[in-house]
Structure 1
Amino acid sequence: MFAGSTYKRLNVSALLFLVFLLTLAGCSNAPAGNQGPVSEISGNSSNQQEDNTNSEKPADQTKTAARGGVLKIISGPMPRALGHPADIISRTETLLSAPAVETLGRYTETGDVAPHLAESWEEDQAAKTITLKLRTGIEFHDGTPFNAEAVKWNLDQYRIAKKPVFNETDTHSIEVIDEHTVQITLADWNVSMINVIAVVPMTSQAAFETQGKDAVNLSPVGTGPFIMEEWKQGQFISFKKNENYWQEGLPKLDGIQFDFIEEPMTAEAAMQKGDYDILLEPSASTVKNLAGQFDILKLENGIGSAGVHLAFNTVDLDSPYRDIKVRQAVGHAIDIKAIINTIYGETVVQTNQWAASNAWTYNPDVKGLEYNSEKAKALLKEAGYEDGFTTVMTYAQSEADTQMMTAVQSYLADVGIKLKLNPVDGAKFTSIRGPDGGWDGIIKLTSKMDTEVPTVLNIMLGSKGFMYKSIEPPKALDDLLEQAATAKNLDELKNYTHQLQKMITDEQQLTVNLFISSMPIVKTNNVQGTGLNQTHAAYWSPETATR
């Protein structure tokens, strides 16, 4: 079936960005939060509606937006790689490579993937094949053709990089059928695989072979609307307009520049001064301070966002958290709404499971745990901990997380649990939650809040996963994860996903689910058509942006 197939593809995410999420969890200033179609909390300018919920207008529908000019963007963390398909992994790298590097498909607002550099694709479940039909007449920035050979090379680069999905084990072959047709044969049918393939970055093989991987990661050669102009390490990355871009009449801007300002107060002051058009990954306090002067774009469909949970050491035979009543007691003891209102405000939204409330992965039958300190005390008494106990909380050190964990510490103290805080640096936290790591007590768990819930759960909570190894998954969870892996269509996948949501929260209480990030972005209200936070946290459409 070609794009626009016989069944509607719900929201099945690309595991490509599982690794991006993990990077995001360690380095992003953004807390976790909202879902639904994107809204803006607009400033108090005269041309904004009073309800402050305007969606960003497409550039071609914005009468006041002027063409040309250079879009100036503040980015906090600096990317590592922008030009090799297997190396672009973080949200920052994806956002900053987008002016130069494009993909076969793009996310829609509903979380589907639709063709972009590909003209269409056909999936044959019986033959286990995905056939890509490519657009014609497209060139990379170095003048080499975008064709089937180029696509095969890029997909092979990703395939041999030992990614969790779309690797040498789960694919049988990638073949060039003709100049504009590529066919992928899978080892086993995977209803989600097209969503991984569709977002593999497409870059020039010739540039890679003549310059080497390190060079193209610093100077990406793609098919995008802008061409890399300069990368001054630690300071800025600039792009100039691609005069030969394949979409007629685009791009609308003359250039894009990203400046790296990691200190939140400095970035906030630069926006207020009028030096920049967009601020990526603002802190919660910056969002609060700038909301009255600028538009705040929130990712409300949850696709590509980050979910924040608390997870327990259940491997240690002496751990009190092996008892589900103790895990439930922790959940009942914490007033999550109060924490959100005090620390994060509108940049996050509460959730009781591993999904955004308007996503098809969300199970409305999940009850979750309401704040009830008396219930928490009763559960602790039933579990034999009437006098409480001492435990520890491990998390990656940041100002917002320390504020949150201090609040959690206070709530747990009210029910008799003495919580010691253990903030660690990002590298150590990555090691603790990794395959050779472990922790005592409780850990902050950050998950990819996307639509491939079974795969994410398998990696993070399942016995075959490679993260959070101090969690001992119940056999029932492993069994259900194995069943979910056999899903042949999206109805089956949805059914298994809903069962998993119920099991994780209501039946096993493996995690206390706190909130989801809205990945807020600050922008001036004259900037339109960017597509930022409209389809996915890591994707946008720089070719249609105006200022």
Structure 2
Amino acid sequence: MKMMTRLMGAAALVVTGLASAPVHAEGGTLVIASTQVPRHLNGAVQSGIATAVPSTQIFASPLRYDENWEPQPYLAESWEVSEDGLKVTLNLVQNATFHDGEPVTSEDVAYSLMVTKENHPFASMFAPVESIDTPDEHTAVINLSQPHPALLLALSPALAPVLPKHLFDNGEDPKSNSFNSAPVGSGPFMLEEFTAGEAVVLKKNPNFFIDGRPKLDEIIIRIIKDPSALLIAMENGEADLYPFMAGSQEIKRLEGADHLSITDQGYAAVGPINWLAFNTTSEKLSDVRVRQAIAYAVDRDFITKALHRGVSAPQRGPIIESSPFFDESIPSYDVDLDKANALMQEAGFGDGMELTIDFIPGPKEQQQSVAEYMKSQLKKIGIDVTVRAAPDFPTWAGRVGGHDFELTMDVVFNWGDPVIGVHRTYLCSNIREGVIWSNTQQYCNEKVDELLNAAAVEQDDAKRKEMYGQFQQIVAQDLPIYWINALPYHTAYDKKLSNVPTGIWGTMHPMDMVDWSE
């Protein structure tokens, strides 16, 4: 009853904004504010912020990463990589149990990694995994068809949750398994309640396998779709932490709240890119000249400097510009309306065309505002754009994942290594209808596949950089996507919080050390 009262109170705050700030006792409750609506809570078959934040609290993973990009023990207390790079042995802790009391074994690890390999939108992430041996209950040997330079990073909490095989292996489709919305894991927090579109309530796992953790008693993730209500909740102390904040007005406004701290740390491995995606199978957009014309019509500098008030950085290609693999020589398609109009004429659309553009609901400045700018800007080259709103994230994701779009704004992450977060968007083999953040553009180029597949197994960083350079030059010509900017993610949090997650994965990481200071 106490838990339900707390949740009802949180929901009421959204409506009235009149309730007083919660009292934080020892342990206490952390209220996270979010505009993202999770479809379910199983990160093994679903990517994205909305799922990853709760999933990484509910499920543990083989490894976790520190702020220096170094792998750390988690469910695996140690690990070894063979000299040829074709075997990775995980030695599991012996005291980990799932929330229902059943022990975590190597069979659970093997099952979970194969479910992720077969169902996660990042098909390239575990593609080299051929099989997983389980010689005993606490040893899992991952057998690879080829070396995988990003494998250890892929074993992070946001990407490799370990599921209880005895529950999830129930004959249901993993993507629609009934346990996806009522998950049982071995992480620091247990699911108490999941009210779709409203809140996720997590309570402390009293039998967590790391002694003395978690510090908090409870985490409530409040879904506040109205950005203004969310900011009021943070200012009034009705919410304690707001991660993945990207709006310039939000950042500047919350900087003025005396009880809050603002940081841009915690997103190093995310590599968030805001872009305009083309459905390359559309009759209107299958001609590369039309896609290039649109790119030449868009003023990236106006978007970043005016619409985003200078908080966003321009992004010219598929690999985040802060990555060592980014190619500085990539064509940038600086605005040139004469060239754009000439290309439209060459493509046979001198008399113009009509297109529809979608956008992710929620982060207006990075999505809706840019979509509306596209409407006015593309009119200059004869394209009449209809901006199509979606009532919620699942609706948008269903349209784009189902290839029911022409143009769409999107935010896609690099996820630390191109193998994990970049390949999925451009590989022919990852055109998967119904799967958001796969190759939803339906772009296919055999040379691109050849380069990406080679880079996925290359152990020499210099050679990988050369391959990724060639890849970037090709997709810059083919232009299945027009890359716009890197998102300026920030986290706002109550100054009384300690150990706020600012590592490479931020809040997409177990928050077992987060605590309230005295």
Taking structure 1 as the reference length, the TM-score comes to 0.72
Distance change (3 Å), C-alpha of 1:155 and 1:348? same
* Cα distance in 2 between the residues matched to 1:155 and 1:384: 46
State the partner residue of 1:497: 468
Question: Within 5 Å, which residues of 2 pair with 1:17-96?
Answer: 68-82=27-41, 86-87=44-45, 89-96=47-54
What is the CA distance between 1:277 and its match in structure 2? 0.7
State the partner residue of 1:521: 491
Amino acid at match of 1:412: L
Asked if the contact 2:234–2:240 (Cα under 8 Å) also holds between the matched residues in 1, the reply is yes
Distance change (3 Å), C-alpha of 1:310 and 1:258? closer
SS state of the match for residue 498, structure 1?
A: helix
Number of positions where the alignment pairs a residue of Structure 1 with one of Structure 2 = 473
State the partner residue of 1:261: 224
Alignment partner for residue 343 of structure 1, among 301, 304, 307? 307
SS state of the match for residue 99, structure 1?
A: helix
CA offsets, 1:268-311, max 9 Å, x none?
22222222211345572434432321333335755234322234
Distance change (3 Å), C-alpha of 1:138 and 1:453? closer
Distance change (3 Å), C-alpha of 1:145 and 1:428? closer
Confirm whether residue 202 of structure 1 aligns to residue 162 of structure 2.
yes
Asked if the contact 2:80–2:88 (Cα under 8 Å) also holds between the matched residues in 1, the reply is yes
What is the CA distance between 1:242 and its match in structure 2? 3.5
State the partner residue of 1:406: 372
Distance change (3 Å), C-alpha of 1:127 and 1:370? closer
State the partner residue of 1:154: 112
Confirm whether residue 546 of structure 1 aligns to residue 515 of structure 2.
yes
* Cα distance in 2 between the residues matched to 1:465 and 1:311: 16
State the partner residue of 2:204: 241
Amino acid at match of 1:545: V
Asked if the contact 1:130–1:185 (Cα under 8 Å) also holds between the matched residues in 2, the reply is yes
SS state of the match for residue 535, structure 1?
A: coil
What is the CA distance between 1:129 and its match in structure 2? 1.6
Of structures 1 and 2, the one with the larger relative CO (CA 8 A, separation 6+) is 1
Alignment partner for residue 365 of structure 1, among 316, 329, 348? 329
* Cα distance in 2 between the residues matched to 1:267 and 1:167: 34
Asked if the contact 2:359–2:410 (Cα under 8 Å) also holds between the matched residues in 1, the reply is no
* Cα distance in 2 between the residues matched to 1:260 and 1:305: 24
SS state of the match for residue 339, structure 1?
A: helix
* Cα distance in 1 between the residues matched to 2:113 and 2:261: 38
What is the CA distance between 1:529 and its match in structure 2? 1.0
Asked if the contact 1:147–1:180 (Cα under 8 Å) also holds between the matched residues in 2, the reply is yes
Asked if the contact 1:433–1:468 (Cα under 8 Å) also holds between the matched residues in 2, the reply is no
Asked if the contact 2:56–2:187 (Cα under 8 Å) also holds between the matched residues in 1, the reply is yes
State the partner residue of 1:48: none
Distance change (3 Å), C-alpha of 1:128 and 1:163? farther
SS state of the match for residue 477, structure 1?
A: helix
Question: Within 5 Å, which residues of 2 pair with 1:323-334?
Answer: 323=289, 327-334=291-298
Q: Once the two structures are aligned, what percentage of the paired residues are identical? A: 21
SS state of the match for residue 31, structure 2?
A: strand
State the partner residue of 1:129: 87
* Cα distance in 2 between the residues matched to 1:429 and 1:322: 25
Distance change (3 Å), C-alpha of 1:196 and 1:266? same
Distance change (3 Å), C-alpha of 1:385 and 1:302? farther
What is the CA distance between 1:197 and its match in structure 2? 3.8
Distance change (3 Å), C-alpha of 1:178 and 1:85? farther
Amino acid at match of 1:493: R
Amino acid at match of 2:504: T
Distance change (3 Å), C-alpha of 1:497 and 1:190? same
* Cα distance in 2 between the residues matched to 1:492 and 1:457: 17
Alignment partner for residue 273 of structure 1, among 236, 261, 264? 236
Amino acid at match of 1:450: W
Asked if the contact 2:242–2:493 (Cα under 8 Å) also holds between the matched residues in 1, the reply is yes
Confirm whether residue 145 of structure 1 aligns to residue 108 of structure 2.
no
Distance change (3 Å), C-alpha of 1:227 and 1:418? closer
SS state of the match for residue 98, structure 1?
A: helix
Amino acid at match of 1:102: A
State the partner residue of 2:189: 226
What is the CA distance between 1:395 and its match in structure 2? 1.6
Asked if the contact 1:361–1:451 (Cα under 8 Å) also holds between the matched residues in 2, the reply is no
Question: Within 5 Å, which residues of 2 pair with 1:285-296?
Answer: 285-293=249-257, 294-296=260-262
Confirm whether residue 303 of structure 1 aligns to residue 269 of structure 2.
yes
Distance change (3 Å), C-alpha of 1:314 and 1:165? closer
SS state of the match for residue 307, structure 1?
A: strand
CA RMSD of aligned residues (A): 3.9
State the partner residue of 2:415: 450
What is the CA distance between 1:122 and its match in structure 2? 1.9
State the partner residue of 2:382: 417
Distance change (3 Å), C-alpha of 1:409 and 1:81? closer
Taking structure 2 as the reference length, the TM-score comes to 0.76
What is the CA distance between 1:496 and its match in structure 2? 1.5
* Cα distance in 1 between the residues matched to 2:64 and 2:240: 24
State the partner residue of 1:37: none
Asked if the contact 2:150–2:420 (Cα under 8 Å) also holds between the matched residues in 1, the reply is no
* Cα distance in 1 between the residues matched to 2:439 and 2:108: 38
Asked if the contact 1:329–1:376 (Cα under 8 Å) also holds between the matched residues in 2, the reply is yes
Distance change (3 Å), C-alpha of 1:331 and 1:437? closer
Distance change (3 Å), C-alpha of 1:450 and 1:365? farther
Unaligned 5+ residue runs, structure 2?
A: 1-23, 432-437
State the partner residue of 1:30: none
* Cα distance in 1 between the residues matched to 2:50 and 2:288: 38
Confirm whether residue 355 of structure 1 aligns to residue 319 of structure 2.
yes
* Cα distance in 1 between the residues matched to 2:264 and 2:463: 31
* Cα distance in 2 between the residues matched to 1:422 and 1:278: 32
CA offsets, 1:468-509, max 9 Å, x none?
67666455434434543553554433331222123322x444
* Cα distance in 1 between the residues matched to 2:278 and 2:168: 45
* Cα distance in 2 between the residues matched to 1:260 and 1:172: 39
What is the CA distance between 1:118 and its match in structure 2? 1.1
State the partner residue of 1:97: 55
